[in-house]
Structure 1
Amino acid sequence: MATALLILGGVLVGGAWSLYKQGAPRVAVVVVGLLAALATAGGLLRLLPGEG
C-alpha cells in the first residue's frame, strides 16, 4: 500500500508541474499539489513501524 501511495504522489507531482507549465489556473495546480502531498505523506506514514 505504501508503494502505491508513493507512486500516486509522484504521478500527481508530475501532473501539478505539467499544469503549472501549461499555465493552468492556480487553483488547479494547488489542488493537485495538495493531493500529491497527501498521497506522499500517507505513503511515508505507512512505512513507519507500529501497530496495525
Structure 2
Amino acid sequence: MSDVSIILLLALAGFLLGGAYSTWKTSRPMAIVLLVCGVLAAVGAFLWWK
C-alpha cells in the first residue's frame, strides 16, 4: 500500500506543479499556492519513501 501512496503523491505533485507553471502568467497568487502544495506533496512522497 505504501508504494501506491508514494506514486499517488508524486502524481499529485506533478499535477500541481504543472498547474502552477501553466497559471503563472495569468494568476500569480494561485500559481504560488499550487507551487507550495506541489512541493509539499513531493516532500511528503520523499519522506514516506525514506
Question: What TM-score do the two structures reach when normalised by structure 1?
Answer: 0.81
Unaligned runs of 5+ in 2: none
Number of residue pairs matched by the alignment: 46
Q: Equivalent residue of 1:24, what SS? A: coil
The one of 1, 7, 12 equivalent to 2:11 is 7
Indicate the percent of aligned positions where both proteins have the same amino acid: 33
Unaligned runs of 5+ in 1: none
Question: What TM-score do the two structures reach when normalised by structure 2?
Answer: 0.84
> Partner residue of 1:16?
20
Q: Spell out structure 1 runs of 4+ moving beyond 3 A.
A: none
Provide the alpha-carbon RMSD of the alignment: 0.8
For the pair shown, which has the larger CA radius of gyration, 1 or 2? 1
- As a proportion of its length, which structure holds more helix? 2
